[in-house]
A and B are shown apart, each in its own frame.
Chain A
Amino acid sequence: MSVIFFGVALVLVEGMAGNEKRISIYSPVADYSLNVIDRDGREYVGLLEVLEPIGSVSAKVDHENWKLRFNSIEAQFTNGNAHARVRSKDVDLTARFILDNGRGLVPIDSLVTLLPQFIGIPVVFHVNSRRLFISEAGTTYTAEMNKSTPGKLVLNFSRPVNPSISTEPGKLRMSFLRDPLLPSGPQTVTYNEKEISSTTFQESNGAAELTITGSLPLLASFSNDGRTITIAPAPGAAPAAAPVAQAPALPSTITTAPAAPPLTPSAPPATSRFIVMIDASHGGDERGAALSDTLAEKDVTLAFARRIRQELETRGIPALVLRDGNATLSLDQRTASVNAQHPVLYIAVHAANNSSGVRVYTAMIPPDLGPRGPFLAWDAAQSSSLGISQLSAAVIVTELRKKIPARTLAGPVPPLKNITVPAIAIEVAPQGRDIADLTSPDYQAVVATAIATGLETMKPRLEGRR
């Protein structure tokens, strides 16, 4: 079971704007959130944006009319009119349709009648929380209290989930924005345990939230491919120590540049294991550099990350790709995950279309941020591992240079300075001037093989640090 959270010290956040109104839509094809617009005292959403993730959609403006085509279905809306025509049938909206700079806005409570006309299946809309479910897209969960000492709460979900987790004194909150979580029983369940007293389900602003209330700092662990979350008191937390541990008012959300830097434990947790974590940088909404008109950096980094994992595994080195899909992960989420898993090496993969060959970076750490008592400064968490990171970079570059141009550099590349374990970033550019190199399986194999061979050489040194 991989421990992902320290209830006191680490906080994961979903990188989203704080107070914007959102509507979340869950369908078998995609789960997504959209911003809600207030007009005339009502809430509106762009209809094109609602339909775009679930089918082929196009729209054009003809004077005051807005003509929409979704798959083979045609619809027409008129600015200021509360009636629309879909499939040649009249559909009533709950308020007037608004044409705003070519964008068609419909009242969000009209989606219940409007969407089935396009997709042919009914939808369920939780109006107050703005959560819309298409088909049977919901994820349910069960909560079971394990009567061990100390007590553990085991949450089993019907599908893998990926909540943002935050802590505050006495509470651990899990916010499910992209997961269609639905309650499977009463909204609040209480337990006769002193460490964990209750679980509460709430919905608001396009997200579901599970709040676990306890008397100690709580730790959440993920297992079963994200289908199980176990909540337990943090190791070593005693009732008397809890108020002291939680006394610093840690922010419930942390941006990538926190005003008050959070502190990271300097001692590695006992759960460290020999695994290399490869981070395919960027992803989801964050595309990275546009390497060509059609090639996004996020896709190239994922291809290289998977190739490096494959090469490492063939050499008997366990490896994990941190973003093994098109998810949006904030830098804080990546950092927290790596620092909790404690791999022997973290590799962030980037791609570029300028210059040639491969650059291998190690962190640039501000010199005035030394250890503070038992903690490391957030901006200098890498300091104790920098030497081995630089050695790893040098060994990898030696291997790369046998085939392609390569160099080591110091680099202010987030999140290297916040990683507690040895960490490097790799920026892969084409071998020559042809951008197609980046998608060439041969070139990917050359780079990945050199990295894996370098790490094979480094294995005894990295293993010795565990």
Chain B
Amino acid sequence: MIPRYLKIAVGVLFAGVLLMGAYLWHMRGKAAQTETRTADKRPVAPPVAGPTEQVILYVADDDPGILRTESARIPLPGGRQQRAQELLRAVLSIYLQKNSPHPLGVGADIRDVYIVDPGLAVIDLNSAFVDGHRSGVLVEELTLASLVQTLAGNIPGINRVRILVEGKQRTTLAGHVDLSNAYDTSAVARLSQELASTPQ
């Protein structure tokens, strides 16, 4: 006959084991989330100080498959090149949010933007941007139009935009949209208008 106090002690210990197990499981999930967030080891760019300006960002929205405009107030430095970088980083910050309308891969970033007179802007993407980009004509076209139109719409005088990856030419963004040539901004503006309309 097992004494009653022993049964109670075993029961309490068993309940303790179950509780500890549940707590361990909970902590494991949290650790995995932390690991994902800290996977991007790139240094964080210092925040830009200075007066803020009202800009129009061209934001891709995958669900209806459209390009919409979004008004934002962001700090913009004086130089054209720095302004271009900040504009594109503002768009990227929208895409890298949790409930992004147009998710990009972890670590996607703009390495640099060069303004080469007369009127040529060169956007240099990092490899994580293209490696983690989803493949498809529309989804790639939305990214292209968003970047090019945000630049051309906010910085006067840009009439061509070239996209490189890690400083090198690439055939396509993710298998569908051509990156082998510079884009004429007037053609991309027309495309952006087409992309702004909801499909019927």
A288-B175, A401-B200 are known contacts. Are A413 and B137 too (CB-CB below 8 A)?
Answer: yes
Residues of A within 8 A of B175 (CB): 282, 286, 288-289
B11 to chain A, nearest CB (A): 45
Residue among B144, B181, B197 with max Cβ neighbours from chain A (10 Å): B181
Contact A405 B62 (CB under 8 A): no
**B180 in the interface, Cβ–Cβ < 8 Å?**
yes
**A459 in the interface, Cβ–Cβ < 8 Å?**
no
Segment of A61-69, A112-120, A173-181, A361-369 in the binding face: A361-369
Contact B135 A297 (CB under 8 A): yes
Cα(A359)–Cα(B9), bound, Å: 68
Residues of A within 8 A of B191 (CB): 364, 409-411
What bracket does the count of chain A residues touching chain B fall in? 35 or more
A355-B199, A364-B187, A379-B181 are known contacts. Are A412 and B136 too (CB-CB below 8 A)?
Answer: no
Contact A355 B65 (CB under 8 A): yes
Cα(A405)–Cα(B172), bound, Å: 27
Cα(A218)–Cα(B134), bound, Å: 43
Cα(A414)–Cα(B200), bound, Å: 26
Residues of B within 8 A of A286 (CB): 175
What bracket does the count of chain B residues touching chain A fall in? 20 to 34
Contact B136 A353 (CB under 8 A): yes
Contact B194 A354 (CB under 8 A): no
Interface flags for B174-200 (1: CB within 8 Å of A; 0: not) read 111110111110110011001101011
B102 and chain A: residue at smallest CB distance: A354
Residues of A within 8 A of B134 (CB): 289, 354
Residues of B within 8 A of A297 (CB): 135
Cα(A356)–Cα(B191), bound, Å: 19
A366 to chain B, nearest CB (A): 6
Contact B184 A366 (CB under 8 A): yes
**A350 in the interface, Cβ–Cβ < 8 Å?**
yes
Residues of B within 8 A of A288 (CB): 135, 175
Contact B172 A361 (CB under 8 A): no
A364 and chain B: residue at smallest CB distance: B187
Cα(A65)–Cα(B184), bound, Å: 59
Contact B137 A427 (CB under 8 A): yes
A357-B199, A401-B200, A405-B200 are known contacts. Are A412 and B135 too (CB-CB below 8 A)?
Answer: no
Residues of A within 8 A of B190 (CB): 410
Cα(A256)–Cα(B180), bound, Å: 8
**B141 in the interface, Cβ–Cβ < 8 Å?**
yes
Cα(A252)–Cα(B70), bound, Å: 49
Chain A at the B interface: SS class: loop
**B169 in the interface, Cβ–Cβ < 8 Å?**
yes
**A124 in the interface, Cβ–Cβ < 8 Å?**
no
Contact A289 B135 (CB under 8 A): yes
**B117 in the interface, Cβ–Cβ < 8 Å?**
no
A423 to chain B, nearest CB (A): 14
**A406 in the interface, Cβ–Cβ < 8 Å?**
yes
**B64 in the interface, Cβ–Cβ < 8 Å?**
yes
A367 contacts which of B135, B169, B186 (Cβ < 8 Å)? B186
**A257 in the interface, Cβ–Cβ < 8 Å?**
yes
Residues of A within 8 A of B180 (CB): 256-257, 414
**A407 in the interface, Cβ–Cβ < 8 Å?**
yes
A429 and chain B: residue at smallest CB distance: B138
Residues of A within 8 A of B176 (CB): 289, 350, 413
A354 contacts which of B136, B178, B184 (Cβ < 8 Å)? B136
Residues of B within 8 A of A356 (CB): 65, 199
Contact B137 A425 (CB under 8 A): yes
A288-B175, A410-B191 are known contacts. Are A354 and B183 too (CB-CB below 8 A)?
Answer: no
B194 to chain A, nearest CB (A): 5
Residues of A within 8 A of B137 (CB): 350, 352, 359, 361, 411, 413, 425, 427
Residues of A within 8 A of B63 (CB): 355
A407 contacts which of B169, B178, B200 (Cβ < 8 Å)? B200
Cα(A370)–Cα(B169), bound, Å: 24
Contact B138 A410 (CB under 8 A): no
A428 to chain B, nearest CB (A): 10
Contact A289 B136 (CB under 8 A): yes
A353-B136, A355-B63, A407-B200 are known contacts. Are A412 and B183 too (CB-CB below 8 A)?
Answer: yes
Interface flags for B118-162 (1: CB within 8 Å of A; 0: not) read 000000000000000011111101001000000000000000000
Interface flags for B62-95 (1: CB within 8 Å of A; 0: not) read 1111000000000000000000000000000000
A354-B62, A355-B64, A364-B187 are known contacts. Are A409 and B136 too (CB-CB below 8 A)?
Answer: no
B163 to chain A, nearest CB (A): 11
Contact B177 A409 (CB under 8 A): no
Interface flags for A18-54 (1: CB within 8 Å of B; 0: not) read 0000000000000000000000000000000000000
Residue among B174, B186, B191 with max Cβ neighbours from chain A (10 Å): B191
**B100 in the interface, Cβ–Cβ < 8 Å?**
no
Residues of B within 8 A of A379 (CB): 181
B63 to chain A, nearest CB (A): 7
Residues of A within 8 A of B186 (CB): 367
Residues of A within 8 A of B33 (CB): none
A364-B191, A405-B200, A407-B200 are known contacts. Are A257 and B62 too (CB-CB below 8 A)?
Answer: no
Cα(A257)–Cα(B164), bound, Å: 13
**A73 in the interface, Cβ–Cβ < 8 Å?**
no
Contact A256 B171 (CB under 8 A): yes
A360 to chain B, nearest CB (A): 10
Cα(A368)–Cα(B183), bound, Å: 11
Which 10 residue pairs spanning A and B have beta carbons closest together?
A355-B65, A257-B180, A289-B135, A352-B136, A412-B178, A407-B199, A427-B137, A405-B199, A256-B171, A414-B178
What are 9 inter-chain pairs, A to B, with CB distance below 8 A? A256-B180, A257-B181, A350-B137, A354-B65, A359-B138, A359-B199, A366-B187, A407-B194, A412-B183
Interface residues of chain A, those whose CB is within 8 Å of chain B, are 255-257, 282, 286, 288-290, 297, 350, 352-357, 359, 361, 364, 366-368, 379, 401, 405-414, 417, 425, 427, 429
Interface residues of chain B, those whose CB is within 8 Å of chain A, are 62-65, 134-139, 141, 144, 169, 171-172, 174-178, 180-184, 186-187, 190-191, 194-195, 197, 199-200
